[in-house]
Amino acid sequence: MPGPLDGPIELARLVPAGELEELLDAVRRAVGAELAIYDRRGALLAGSEAAGAPCRDVEHDGEPLAKLASTSPAALDLGERMLGLLVHHANARELAATTHEAAMRLTFAELTEQNLRLQRAVARLEELDRLKSNFLATMSHELRTPLTSVIGYAEMLAEGLAGPIAPEQRDYLATILNKADQLLGMITSVLDVASVESGVPPLERASLSLTDIVASEVAMFTATARKREIAIQLETRGDTIVVGDRKKIRQIVSSLLSNAVKFTPDRGKVGVCVRPGPLSPVIHDNGDGRAIQLVVSDSGIGISRDAVAKIFEPFFQVDSSSTRAFGGTGLGLTLAKAYVEAHGGRIWVDTTPGQGSTFVATFPARPAFDDQGGA
C-alpha cells in the first residue's frame, strides 16, 4: 500500500466521504451556493453534478488533487481553501499512523531477533549442561571402579590375608581405608547429583518411622559431636510415619545433621525435632498441607542473606577458599533438596549469621506419589 509520501494523493482514500460532505455543508451555509467535488480523474466524490458549472483544478504539492465545480466563485474559493486544510490534516494523520506502524514493526523485528538469539543461547546452555552431567556421571563411574579395588585390597591386607602385619602398618591401612571411604562418598555424591540433574530420582516406597531413622542417624554423629563437646538433643512428637525411600531419607537426615555439627563451634548445641506440622513455610489451613517435619537447628556460624539463595545449588559452599576448615563437596544440600522434593516435600532454612541455622525438611503425611514410585 503506497504511503502518504509516495506518488499523487488519492483524495477518496485520504479524506473520508463524511468529511467532504461536511465541507459542502459549510460552504452552503457560508456562501449559500452548491459545490461538487471530483477526484483528479473526474469521478464525482461529493455534491451533485451541475452541468455547465465552472470548474477549478486543485493541486497539492504541484500534483493534481481534485476538481471543484460551482456556479459561485465564492464557493469555489472557500471550497479550495477548506479542501487544502482537510488534505493537510489527513496527510498529517496518515503520516503519524504510518510512522507509528513502522516503529512497531521495527520493535517487533528487534524483539523477534532478540528472541531467536536467546533461544539459541538457551539451547547451547542446555547442551553444555547435558555434557557436564554426562561428564560427571562418566567420570565418577570410572573413578569409582578402581577405588573399590583399592578399598578391597586394603581391607584384605588389614585382615592379614596377605600375611601378618605390624601395628604401625595396621594404622596406616586404617588411614588409607578412612580416606578412600571419604573419596568414595564424594564420588558417589557427584554421581547422585548427575543422576538427579537428569530427572526426578526413582524412589522406593515403604511406610517408615522418621523418628527411628533420625534416631539412628543421630547415634552415628554422637561420637564426633562429643569430641567437640557439642550436645545433640533429639525430640519427637506425635505420629511420624512417612511413606518413602529409606536410603534417600537417611541421606537427607545425614546431610542436615552433618552440616549442623560441622558448622557449629565446639561446645555448641544441635537440636533435632520430628513433629507433625505444615508442609511448607506458608501455612495451609485446608488440611492439604499436613506433613511430618524434620527440624535441625544449630547454634553455629549461620549463613549470610546472599548465600542462603545459593546453598541448594550444586557445588556451592559459602566459604570455598583453599584454607576452608570444614571439608565437604557442596553437594549435600543439593541432593537433600532433590530427594525431599521427590517425596513431595519442601526444604527451607531460617538462619542468622553468627547465631545459627534451622533447616526444616517436610514429608507429606499423605504421600504425593503416583503408582509408579517403585516397590
C-alpha closest to that of 272 among 369, 171, 199, 359: 359
Q: Which stretch binds ligand ADP (CB under 6 A): 134-142, 231-239, 316-324, 362-370?
A: 316-324
Report whether 208 contacts 239 (CB < 8 A): no
Backbone angles phi, psi at 184, to 5 degrees: -60, -40
Report in angstroms how near the CB of residue 300 gets to ligand ADP at its nearest.
5
Under the binding rule (CB under 6 A), the answer on residue 190 touching ligand ADP is: no
Select the residue interacting with ligand ADP from 14, 294, 303, 361 (CB under 6 A): 303
Instruction: Check binding of 271 to ligand ADP (CB under 6 A).
Output: no
- At 332, list the grid cell: 549435600
Q: Is 317 in the site for ligand ADP (CB under 6 A)?
A: yes
Residues, the chain: 375
Largest Cα–Cα separation, the chain = 135
By CB under 6 A, residue 277 contacts ligand ADP: no
339 binds ligand ADP (CB under 6 A): no
- CA–CA gap between residue 90 and residue 158 (Å, rounded): 99
Nearest distance from residue 317's CB to ligand ADP, in Å? Answer: 3
Q: Which residue's CB is nearer to ligand ADP, number 23 or number 190?
A: 190
Smallest Cα–Cα separation from 274: which of 336, 337, 211, 232?
Answer: 211
Gap between the Cα atoms of 100 and 329, Å rounded = 57
Count other C-beta atoms under 10 Å from residue 356's C-beta.
Answer: 22
Tell me: does residue 268 bind ligand ADP (CB under 6 A).
no
DSSP alpha helices (H): ranges in 245-286?
Answer: 246-262
> Interface mask (CB under 6 A) for ligand ADP, residues 228-267, using x and -?
---------------------------x---xx--x----
Q: Considering only residues 4, 244, 268, 332, which one is a binding residue for ligand ADP as defined by CB under 6 A?
A: 332
Kindly tell me which residue out of 194, 311, 338, 340 binds ligand ADP, with binding defined by CB under 6 A: 311
Residue closest to ligand ADP (Cβ): 328
Q: How many residues touch ligand ADP (CB under 6 A)?
A: 22
One residue of 58, 90, 194, 318 binding ligand ADP per CB under 6 A: 318
Q: Shortest distance, CB of residue 151 to ligand ADP, whole angstroms? A: 21
E strands in the chain = 36-39, 44-46, 55-60, 63-69, 206-209, 231-236, 241-244, 269-278, 290-298, 347-352, 356-364
Choice from 330, 341, 350, 373 touching ligand ADP (CB under 6 A):
330
Amino acid identity at 295: V
Site residues for ligand ADP per CB under 6 A: 255, 259-260, 263, 298, 300-303, 311, 316-319, 328-334, 357
